[in-house]
Structure 1
Amino acid sequence: MSGVLLRLRPIAHATPTATGLHVRGWRSSFTVDGGRGLWTIWERLAGPLAEGVPPERLAVPENASPAVARALELIIGQLREHDLLVEVPAGWGDGGAGDGGTSHRDLGAPPPDIASWLESVAASPLEAWRRLRSTTAVVTGEGAPAAAAHRALTAAGLDVAPVRPGAGLLLTAGPHVVAAGYAAAVGFAVAPGPVADVVADAAALADRLAGAPGTPPEVLAALVGSAAAHRLVCALGGLPDPATEVVDMWSDVPPTGPPHQAVLVARVDPLRAEYHPWLSAVRPREPNGTLLEVLGDRELGPVPTPLPGDLPQLPVKLAASGNAVGFGTTEHAARLDALLRAARELAPAGAVLGADRAHALGLALRTAARHLPGTPVTEDEWSADPTARRWWKAVVLRFALPAAVEVTRVGPGVVRAVVRAAGEELSWAVEARPADAVAFAALAAAGRAQADQARTRPPRADQAQAGQARTLRPPAGVPGPVVLCGAAPFATPDGAAAPWTNRDWHWPHGLRDGEDAFQDGLRALVGEAEPVRLGPVLEAAGLVAFAVPGATR
């Protein structure tokens, strides 16, 4: 190991604190407490580590006092745990011999800025540099974006062939390919991959973004070309894709990677660039992200982003995704409901969509049980329940609907509730308990009435003066009947439940605990539901669909 040095990654920075020190890296940080003397120990340790020390010398001196020994062990252990130490060949960056006797000068010594960058991000800087020098990169394109990509690849130390003419922007280095596109005001760079896949994704993205045709301004061209080059360099060098380097500033937990194919989207006025999840039809991945983040992404999601906007939020939470309006007891539930209603337009006819398998299956089985004969349930069996009473009062008192609810037991542990007003069926629900069935049906009926009132309400004075339309108002009301159910994946309530709370505080959270047993009872009544394929895009988002048992598709 005489040819190897252990260095502190250049990205690491330390700050003294009142009781110790705080060390920050690219993706994580740690704090060591124990007294002001820790900063002195850090300064004596960090100086040699910045230059590099043989790995066997990074140890606690035998003559160190117990307190100093414990401090050194703790700091060195934290540096290793947070990946802030890296091995480099002796002479790395100054033309010396590399590990195993191979001179990295034979590869073309990396400039100091590239050497520092590789020390900051690469697991093995020398191996990454070897990979970068292993092939000649090719830029196919025209104009400023191609020129920017060529400059960026050359600056990273790659051998780059002269630019080849071609439409769009395509960068190739060995088996790695990155495609990019641009218009007058928008540009993008797709994830690296095989040439056929990246070209297909680039074509689909160009159609999705539908930017106005034209030559991009110099700053956008430079951003798109450089971003595409960055992704190619990282793929060739075995480095993390830039999309995985985005870290929540409030969390020290490194991301596990983008939930799907990540695409950089750049726009001007103001100039900005962000990575967005892309539901690729040719490179689908296993779902690894929330539906709201992926399916409703504001740039690349196939359905409009579900938002409350200026829709009223009492007593029912409302959200809209395009023309689809969703309901719920929380904003998250309303946004998810709106998202699923909007996504139905993209699904095959007869498919019952859900946020996951339990939700989709539960909706399909409930739909099959909707018209089963049964025996009436008296009002006494549900009217004493606070949740059912609350939502029923919202229907008949808050919105003054001339409504009636019909509650029927259609099987052992299976109850249906239907809300009608003026001869029209507004909503229905099928649940295990009469109170839950009435609560869901009444919640949906109240939400529908609330959305209809929002549609007919005149715009605010400031909107009227500016001639603005209500951006989230559903233009034709909410098509009914509306179905909400206990199979939905309700978000966990914030904070710990107080000892005196009961189900009425967080309803309907917790109903899914009994969903498997309830679905077994539904199958006994209506039979099995068959899964329905939704295609690579919706399935990559995590959506699941079933056909209604007994229905003809």
Structure 2
Amino acid sequence: MAATPLREGVHIRGRDSSLTLEGSRALPALWGLLAARLGADPQAAERPEASDPKIGAALATLTDRLREHDLLVEHPDGVELPPWLGAVAGRPSEAAEAIRAAHPVVRAADPGGTLARAVDRALTEAGAVPSFAADDSLPAGRALLTTGSPETAVAVAADAGGGFVTAPAHPVRARSDAEEIAARLAAAPDTAAPDTATPDASAALTALLAGAAAQRLLRAVAGLPDPAAPDRDPRLLAGRPAILVARARPLRADHHPWAAGPPLPGHPATAPAPEDLAEALRRIAALGDQRLGVLDEPLPGSLPQVPAALVSCRTPAGPLLAGAARTDLARLDAACRSAELHLGAGPFTSGAGATPVVGATPEQARGLALRRAALALPVGGASPIDTSWRDHPQVRHWWTTLTERLDVKASLTVNQLDADEPVFRVDLQAPGLAVSTVEATPADAVAFAALAAVAQVTAHQHGLSADVHTTPSGAAAPLATAGVRPAAWEDEGWTNRWLTGIADREPALQHALHRLTGLHTTPWQSARPEPHPVAAALAGCGFTVLATARGETR
């Protein structure tokens, strides 16, 4: 605990919380007296002011405030504890006893090597009594730290370029995790080459990783929270392991989410779907983590963001470009399409009729699949359509941007796919591009088609090329508007209000599309017996992957 005296108060900081007390110039002096008592100062009780009942009452009140904010820990008299436990444990004596009784074993190919010695120092300084065992199954530069009942282990690896520490797990899993992480880091595009690190950086790196491994193991032994917790770092994922990854140049270490990793004990294999767009984007960042991700994270980079927001990423089919009314919506579209291309590439591809469709939620995945199925239907028997949709503010904005601001000669065809169903298809033609959309109103379909064309034309005019383009749709509208209340003065010229209306129409549209297409969806399965890393990561992030098959239409 640390404290900063104020003019009329004191600011107190603990391991997880802080407290500011103000209102009296006597508070700093009171804190000094209380701190002496809490620190077991034998002279504190002998001070003259200690016998004053008013001061005693004030100290009791101050102690109660500290206890309410979890700023007090129990420390037994006459027992010397490692200083770090007093900073992280609510009951340091119990934690210290658990650590002393753990007797961790450090396993390494060379128990006398640099890494093993560094781990020994870290464990000993933390209050543990480690032993060593030679293990030829471990590669050089790696160690496995294990404890007894229940069996818990962490793996640590260090070389001249970097290293990692796995999450606490059963020893068998810790070994397999280390193998997978080592392979993933070796393939990461920004992994530093071993010969770029200096000896000094390598020595510091070894000490850093050894200390981190000792901390993660002993925290697990003592029942203390792991330092890599999602409530402490929003980049991490609940229910999935976080891996400490370090680099030698520059010397740096931080925790990374491992979305494709096996679920932590007590957590389901498939995470709950994200509840809103912000949470979906947080998970997309984990899927595209630079070190442990399975996708190239879609980002705007230096792409233009007007008149449409653009993002790009690498995929197995080549560079992908996504455009939308907002950057967050473009990132969502790009991530889902990129994941589909990864799932459909290579030996994991399923048989005919099982094209993967990815959405952040089941609703979004179904909406995407149904729209694609509707676009495969023959267009014929079109019904006359009221042209009042031309006055919709989103249509005016994107169509004017395309045909006037970007000077594109474009034409539109609008069809109602069934006279009894509110399902409209729009086909937009322009030199060098063709876009088709399906939505619940002609205005929605035209606006999305024009927006998609604007994105592609903007990219072309800036000399940007892409092998894959996405088409924005209303499938993501329910996710994008979850928890959002548009202002009363907003009309559908504002994106939030427009998306809210689309979200309201989405359930009825999906029912109508299902009746028209007869589409059946099932969970997508890999064609190989081993798990697909992208599918595992998507499940860990709560995303939905569907396989589609056509049934009978009505």
* TM-score where L is the length of structure 1: 0.78
Q: 5 Å matches for 1:212-291?
A: 212=193, 217-244=202-229, 247=232, 260-283=240-263, 286-287=270-271, 290-291=282-283
Cα distance change on mapping 1:124 and 1:49 into 2, 3 Å:
same
1:298-335 C-alpha deviation (Å, 9 max, x unpaired)? 22111122221111111111111222222222222222
Cross-structure match for 1:385: 392
Cross-structure match for 2:422: 413
Cα distance change on mapping 1:541 and 1:365 into 2, 3 Å:
same
1:45-84 C-alpha deviation (Å, 9 max, x unpaired)? 333233399xxxxxxx99659xx979964x5454234321
Cα distance change on mapping 1:188 and 1:256 into 2, 3 Å:
closer
Matched residues in 1 for 2:472 and 2:484: separation?
29
Matched residues in 1 for 2:520 and 2:6: separation?
61
Q: 5 Å matches for 1:451-490?
A: 451-454=459-462, 456=463, 474=465, 477-480=466-469, 482-488=471-477
Cα distance change on mapping 1:37 and 1:525 into 2, 3 Å:
farther
Offset of residue 339 of structure 1: 2.0
The match for 1:341 among 316, 337, 341 is 337
Offset of residue 31 of structure 1: 2.9
1:259–1:277: 8 Å Cα contact kept in structure 2?
A: no
Say whether 1:399 aligns with 2:406.
yes
Q: 5 Å matches for 1:46-61?
A: 46-51=35-40
Cross-structure match for 1:353: 358
Cα distance change on mapping 1:145 and 1:258 into 2, 3 Å:
farther
Offset of residue 204 of structure 1: 1.3
Matched residues in 1 for 2:373 and 2:385: separation?
23
2:143–2:156: 8 Å Cα contact kept in structure 1?
A: yes
- Of 527-536 and 151-160, more deviation after overlay is shown by 527-536
Cross-structure match for 2:503: 512
Matched residues in 1 for 2:78 and 2:455: separation?
70
Say whether 1:170 aligns with 2:144.
yes
Offset of residue 265 of structure 1: 0.6
Cross-structure match for 1:15: 4
Cα distance change on mapping 1:400 and 1:129 into 2, 3 Å:
same
- Unaligned 5+ segments in structure 1 are 1-11, 54-60, 94-109, 249-253, 457-472
Matched residues in 2 for 1:39 and 1:129: separation?
32
Offset of residue 37 of structure 1: 4.1
Cross-structure match for 1:97: none
Offset of residue 151 of structure 1: 1.5
Cα distance change on mapping 1:86 and 1:509 into 2, 3 Å:
farther
2:119–2:213: 8 Å Cα contact kept in structure 1?
A: yes
Cross-structure match for 2:289: 297
- Unaligned 5+ segments in structure 2 are 43-50, 273-278, 350-354, 526-534
Cα distance change on mapping 1:13 and 1:509 into 2, 3 Å:
farther
Offset of residue 406 of structure 1: 1.8
Matched residues in 2 for 1:200 and 1:16: separation?
51
The match for 2:521 among 514, 525, 530 is 530
Cross-structure match for 1:545: 545
Cross-structure match for 1:203: 179
Partner SS, residue 542 of structure 1: coil
Cα distance change on mapping 1:355 and 1:128 into 2, 3 Å:
same
1:462-502 C-alpha deviation (Å, 9 max, x unpaired)? xxxxxxxxxxx55xx24356343343465569998655322
Offset of residue 88 of structure 1: 3.1
Matched residues in 2 for 1:513 and 1:434: separation?
16
Offset of residue 402 of structure 1: 2.5
Offset of residue 237 of structure 1: 1.6
The match for 1:193 among 169, 176, 188 is 169
Matched residues in 2 for 1:481 and 1:337: separation?
7
Matched residues in 1 for 2:217 and 2:132: separation?
17
Cross-structure match for 1:79: 66
Equivalent position amino acid for 1:296 in 2: G
2:241–2:262: 8 Å Cα contact kept in structure 1?
A: no
Q: How many residues align?
A: 486
The match for 1:446 among 450, 454, 476 is 454
Identity %: 37
Cross-structure match for 1:469: none
Cross-structure match for 1:88: 75
Offset of residue 137 of structure 1: 1.5
Matched residues in 1 for 2:485 and 2:524: separation?
39
Partner SS, residue 266 of structure 1: strand
Q: 5 Å matches for 1:308-323?
A: 308-322=300-314, 323=319
Offset of residue 161 of structure 1: 1.2
Equivalent position amino acid for 2:437 in 1: A
Equivalent position amino acid for 1:380 in 2: T
1:171–1:178: 8 Å Cα contact kept in structure 2?
A: yes
1:108-164 C-alpha deviation (Å, 9 max, x unpaired)? xx4xxx1x3212211322221221122321112243222211211122221211352
Say whether 1:366 aligns with 2:341.
no
Equivalent position amino acid for 1:206 in 2: A
- Of 406-415 and 14-23, more deviation after overlay is shown by 14-23
Say whether 1:328 aligns with 2:324.
yes
1:451–1:478: 8 Å Cα contact kept in structure 2?
A: no
1:414–1:430: 8 Å Cα contact kept in structure 2?
A: yes
Partner SS, residue 375 of structure 2: coil
2:236–2:257: 8 Å Cα contact kept in structure 1?
A: no
- Of 152-161 and 503-512, more deviation after overlay is shown by 503-512
2:237–2:259: 8 Å Cα contact kept in structure 1?
A: no
* TM-score where L is the length of structure 2: 0.78
Cα distance change on mapping 1:49 and 1:483 into 2, 3 Å:
same
Equivalent position amino acid for 1:190 in 2: T
Equivalent position amino acid for 1:274 in 2: D
Offset of residue 35 of structure 1: 4.2
Matched residues in 1 for 2:478 and 2:41: separation?
52
Cα distance change on mapping 1:84 and 1:481 into 2, 3 Å:
closer
Matched residues in 2 for 1:489 and 1:370: separation?
21
